[in-house]
Amino acid sequence: MAIENLGNMNKMLSNYSTQDWTKSASIDQASMPKFNELNPNQATGAAAPQSFSEIMASSLAEVNNMQVEANKAIQKLASGQTKNISETMLAVENAEIAFKTMNQVRMKVIEAYKEIMRMQM
């Protein structure tokens, strides 16, 4: 019963040796994307499972791209190259939602980091 569960939990925990734990958390400098040279086309769409930093980087690039596209749509509307107001509004709205979502994610990540730092060792 309770003691059996404890035994199972012990077995599970022993599967994760401390060494494994630190290895997966270490930052591999070579494979990390260089932020200055981010090309949105490269960053999106990887078949292999990505690390969290790669996902963050590609999402950031995507959000930035949406902002750029929204700006272009606004410029086209202001200079009369398009008369499609709805398209522009949708592009702007999408970019805004993406930005706010990314900001929320950022806040959650920071919160999680602080939570981890608070753990007593």
Output the CA torsion sign for 50, 52, 56, 59: positive
Nearer to another protein, 8 or 104 (CB): 104
**Only segment of 2-10, 15-23, 29-37, 83-91 that touches another protein (CB under 8 A):** 83-91
Give the three-state DSSP class for 112.
helix
Residue 77, both tokens: 């509307």
List the one residue from 46, 78, 90, 109 that touches another protein (CB under 8 A): 78
Residues 90-119 interacting with another protein (rule: CB under 8 A): 92-93, 96, 99-100, 103-104, 107
Least distance in angstroms from the C-beta of 100 to another protein: 7
- Which residues make Cβ contacts (< 8 Å) with residue 109, sequence separation at least 6? 56
- For the chain, counts of helices (H) and of strands (E): 5, 0
List the one residue from 71, 90, 109, 111 that touches another protein (CB under 8 A): 71
Is residue 76 at the binding interface for another protein, with CB under 8 A as the rule?
A: yes
Residue ranges in 16-84 assigned as alpha helix (H): 18-25, 40-43, 52-78
Q: In the complex, which residues of this chain contact another protein (CB under 8 A)?
A: 71-72, 74-81, 85, 88-89, 92-93, 96, 99-100, 103-104, 107
